[in-house]
Amino acid sequence: MEKEMRITVWKQLINEDRQPTYKLQLEGDLSAKERKKVLAELKGWKEVGYGWHKSGKAELRLFVRSFQDRNSWIKWAKAFPYELKELNRNGKTKKIN
């Protein structure tokens, strides 16, 4: 039985170099093998937070990364092998890949 994993991302800010910075939240009850595979795909992202879902079973991890521009972000997101949903400023999600 495959465990559920949710990955949500949102634009956090635009840095002083006018590069968009995105925050990514990984949530799920993952085995060590699954966790290792996902974290390998997040190479280049900096982990900035860690915790547990209120259920106590799913871990939460937060990552942050700046991209050169919106197009480089979209290119990365479409190549990401897991379902990825982007959260807009109104709190609605849309599937990216």
Distances (CA, A) of 78 to 43, 55, 60, 83, 97: 16, 31, 23, 9, 5
Distance CA 12, CA 6 (A): 18
Q: Residue 26: enclosing H or E segment and its boundaries?
A: strand 20-28
Q: Is the pLDDT of residue 79 over 90?
A: yes
The model's pLDDT over 4-54, given as tens digits with 9 standing for 90+, comes to 888 999 988 776 777 889 999 999 888 889 889 999 999 999 999 988 877
**Count of domains forming the chain:** 1
Domain containing residue 87: 5-95
For residue 39, the surrounding DSSP H or E stretch is: helix 32-41
Side-chain-facing half-sphere of 17: CA atoms under 13 Å: 7
pTM for the whole structure: 0.84
